[in-house]
Chain A
């Protein structure tokens, strides 16, 4: 590069993050000093800030330079930009959901939106990390905010439990990750991912193997991969539904983009980790889906479903291992990269949509979470029931929805990469998954409602808009995946 980049070049590259930071501080202070009682101003300003950040991120994606910033510790390439767009969209939908949920459940406090914007910025840092230390800092920014948000319903003991459980286990997982980073550094003398890629092959020591193992544990915890998933159902169930929706989308995107980056760099030593990733993928797909079948709580079921989806994404990570095995492997690796980003977009739309339906129905008196609560919904509120129907079909991977297109891309990548076993397990467990997603459809559409029509939510604007947008995206990108593919296809 001609001339060394100045600090201003670096700051310009992370402008969307700076916008998020400024917005969150304006919100934090504005809520306690300037507009104390006008609670609606918080979500509106948060939306404005996120939209500005999204606009800048889209502009930077179009005029992509692929520069590295801050002494090569951030890699603002297509993967970073596309994951940032995915995270900002998730944030936007989640702010709309929270607007309705917090208002109707009497949980409005000014800290919510700043915490959420900060956690989006942490997740985006993870997605842009070219250095394991930056990845760790991003993870901690994301997690700290999530620990607090999980306990946001302070009068609810389950919310408290979710928060403390997530915090203790999360701290433990962070320690594993950090230890892994330390050992990888010990073996290769670098924490930079782009350097790592060129050094790992000549540094295959037991220390490196142990380090990679600990990295898998630390990242697997965040991504909710079996057997590091124990926190997921309890935290998803206990946390306020708007937090669960956001956490499901953002934490998954951040964890898997980080995994894609790390294992892309570790591809030269894929023989060390491929077996472990394959085993975790099979375990996660099989047990995530099996355990989801037995659930009676929608939030808990969606927690196990999120574990199952993590399993499908692990298939993509395993496919990435063949990136250096000739042209066919390289093509499969590319497909795995673009496919998993498409999948993450799909996952965030359909999961936030499904939680959004619960939020739309909840009010101060009743928090909708049981499958029983949805009994006969189609009689009371057909539009909401049809929206839920689409999200369930999409989560189950049934065409013509976005969930199917995402699953198909990962499936195709796995087949062309030679991961036949994983592709077969993926197909079989998807059939298992259809059972519990369609159970909700059955309860909603073919059973008689037990009680009288539910009281309508007092304030439904945010959740309606969010569900509408999610449903539109799920169908639109299901029928015309090419529209989104122009974005995810940048990542090669």
Chain B
């Protein structure tokens, strides 16, 4: 196998780390189970203790508007992620980087205009 042999050792650390992580969390959960007093009330057993009372189970139709907003949010979330490395490297790359980022942001704005004109942002 052409892979260099030292790479096997670096993966060992990942495996050890995984097991240590699992053991750490398991230990703490177990400790909490052993030490904490248990006095459940119906209120405490609900999914969101301090939210709206749940109605029925989760297997029902959701309003697709939530999905649209989430989608638009992710688009601009990702844009922000790309803007950070761009801002760091932009001095070295120069005008070309500006043009590229303008195209990238332009495409996203085109998407936003489309969503806006298609009334995806209306909440009736």
- Chain A contact residues, CB within 8 Å of chain B: 7, 25, 28-29, 32-33, 186-187, 189, 202-203, 205
Contact = CB atoms under 8 A, between A and B. Distances in A.
B110 interface: yes
22 contacts: A7-B96, A25-B107, A25-B110, A28-B110, A28-B114, A29-B110, A29-B113, A29-B114, A32-B113, A32-B114, A32-B117, A32-B118, A33-B113, A33-B117, A186-B3, A187-B1, A189-B2, A189-B3, A202-B2, A203-B1, A203-B2, A205-B1
Nearest to A205: B1
Contacts of B107: 25
Nearest to A26: B110
A268 B95 CA distance: 45
Given A29-B110, A187-B1, A189-B2, 6 more contacts: A29-B114, A32-B113, A32-B114, A33-B117, A203-B1, A203-B2
Nearest to B117: A32
Nearest to B1: A205
Contacts of B114: 28-29, 32
Contacts of B110: 25, 28-29
A32 B115 CA distance: 9
Interface of B: 1-3, 96, 107, 110, 113-114, 117-118
Contacts of B118: 32
A29 B108 CA distance: 12
Chain A, interface SS category = helix
A154 to B, nearest CB: 11
Nearest to B113: A29
Contacts of A189: 2-3
A147 to B, nearest CB: 14
B43 to A, nearest CB: 38
B74 to A, nearest CB: 15
A33 B109 CA distance: 13
Nearest to B119: A32
Contacts of A32: 113-114, 117-118
Contacts of A28: 110, 114
Chain A CB count within 10 A is highest, among B1, B3, B96, B114, for B114
B91 to A, nearest CB: 19
Contacts of A33: 113, 117
A25 B107 CA distance: 8
B63 to A, nearest CB: 16
A32 B110 CA distance: 11
A63 to B, nearest CB: 27
A187 B2 CA distance: 8
B71 to A, nearest CB: 13
B59 to A, nearest CB: 16
A110 to B, nearest CB: 9
Contacts of A25: 107, 110
A117 to B, nearest CB: 14
Contacts of A205: 1
A172 to B, nearest CB: 21
B94 to A, nearest CB: 13
> Which 5 pairs of residues, A with B, have the shortest CB-CB distance?
A32-B117, A28-B114, A25-B110, A32-B114, A29-B110
Contacts of B2: 189, 202-203
A90 B52 CA distance: 54
Nearest to A202: B2
A203 B1 CA distance: 7
B121 to A, nearest CB: 13
Contacts of A186: 3
A186 B3 CA distance: 8
A17 to B, nearest CB: 14
A385 B110 CA distance: 45
Nearest to A188: B2
A378 B117 CA distance: 47
Nearest to A206: B1
B25 to A, nearest CB: 28
B88 to A, nearest CB: 21
Contacts of A29: 110, 113-114
A50 B1 CA distance: 48
B5 to A, nearest CB: 14
A203 B110 CA distance: 46
A32 B112 CA distance: 12
Nearest to B115: A32
A187 B96 CA distance: 37
Contacts of A7: 96
A162 B117 CA distance: 28
Contacts of B1: 187, 203, 205
Nearest to A109: B118
A33 B110 CA distance: 11
A289 B2 CA distance: 45
Nearest to A36: B117
Nearest to A25: B110
A189 B117 CA distance: 47
A150 to B, nearest CB: 18
Contacts of B113: 29, 32-33
Nearest to B100: A7
Contacts of A202: 2
Nearest to A21: B107
A33 B113 CA distance: 9
A78 B3 CA distance: 35
A70 B110 CA distance: 26
A48 B62 CA distance: 41
B107 to A, nearest CB: 7
A186 B4 CA distance: 12
A203 B114 CA distance: 49
